[in-house]
């Protein structure tokens, strides 16, 4: 059943609203990463404005260039780890559009859902990004301590996080935050398994950028199935 929800989501990927959310999310993510790089360059410039002198060597003039190139490398490395969580968080600002597209196609008899305000979407996105980044930073420590269990930690943790977030986003449109939380607790095992399915493509570059949209669509289907029981 979960696989069926996922396949329905994949089948709707050509939908223009899905595409619109995808490219807006990626564009804003790249802009944010460039913004981080610009701030790092400003910090490097501020730190290297004053001349640095080393005994027996003299004044160092190439340190600014070295740090600038180092900051570029740092941002490139950072983007590998942050691209997906940041893209997920930013894209979640627009996931109401994905859920609406799914419901219009597959559940046309439903009444319109109350729109999610920009302020509420932004709050949820920031919270989601913070939890994702903090959890994955903590996971790197576990990867180092338990390398043999790294793959299980990765899928288990991200499956839980993705399932929790996307089910909550899908459910609270229809039954509110408290109702969504109660339903999520009732079907926590099913939601975790669905989240693990969403976590599998995270291991594949570029493919992982589709996860926010596929997650929102899959969990919209999952919510409607579970809510009927």
- What one-character-per-residue DSSP string does the chain give? -HHHHHHHHHHTTTSHHHHHHHHHHHHHHHHHHHHHHHHHHHHHHHHHSS-EEETTTEEE-SHHHHHHHHHHHHHHHHHHHHHHHHHHHHHGGGHHHHHHHHHHHH-TTSPPPPPPPHHHHHHHHHHHHHHHHHHHHHHHHHHHH-GGGHHHHHHHHHHHHHHHHHHHHHHHHHHHHHHHHHHHHHTHHHHHHHHHHHHGGGGSTTGGGGHHHHHHHHHHHHHHHHHH-
> Where is average pLDDT lowest: 56-70, 72-86, 182-196, 211-225?
56-70
49: pLDDT confidence band, cut at 50, 70 and 90? low
Of 49-58, 103-112, 118-127, 210-219, the range with the lowest mean pLDDT is: 49-58
- pLDDT tens track for 1-19: 788 888 899 999 899 988 8
The torsion region of residue 158 among left (phi > 0), alpha (psi -120 to 50) and beta comes to alpha
Confidence of residue 54 (pLDDT cuts 50, 70, 90): very low
Does residue 69 carry a pLDDT above 70?
no
Half-sphere exposure at residue 8, Cβ-oriented, CA atoms within 13 angstroms: 20
pLDDT tens, position by position, 94-134:
778 888 899 999 999 988 887 766 677 667 767 776 777 77
pTM over 0.85: no
């Amino acid at each position: 059943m979960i696989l069926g929800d996922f396949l329905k989501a994949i089948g709707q990927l050509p939908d223009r609203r899905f595409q619109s959310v995808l490219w807006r999310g990626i564009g804003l993510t790249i802009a944010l990463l460039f913004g981080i790089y610009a701030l790092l360059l400003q910090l490097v410039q501020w730190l290297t404005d004053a001349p640095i002198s080393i005994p027996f060597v003299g004044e160092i003039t190439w340190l600014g260039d070295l740090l600038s190139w180092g900051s570029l490398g740092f941002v490139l490395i950072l983007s590998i780890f942050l691209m997906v969580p940041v893209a997920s968080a930013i894209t979640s600002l627009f996931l109401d559009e994905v859920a609406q597209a799914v419901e219009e196609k597959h559940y046309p008899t439903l009444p319109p859902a109350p729109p999610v305000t920009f302020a509420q979407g932004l709050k949820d996105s920031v919270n989601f990004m913070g939890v994702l980044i903090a959890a994955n930073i903590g996971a790197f420590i576990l990867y180092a301590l338990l390398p043999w269990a790294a793959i299980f930690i990765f899928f288990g943790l991200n499956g839980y996080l993705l399932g929790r977030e996307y089910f909550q986003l899908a459910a609270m449109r229809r039954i509110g935050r408290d109702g969504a939380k109660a339903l999520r607790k009732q079907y926590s095992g099913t939601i975790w398994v669905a989240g693990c399915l969403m976590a599998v493509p995270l291991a594949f570059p570029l493919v992982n950028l589709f996860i926010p949209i596929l997650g929102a669509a899959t969990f919209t289907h999952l919510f409607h199935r579970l809510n009927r029981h």
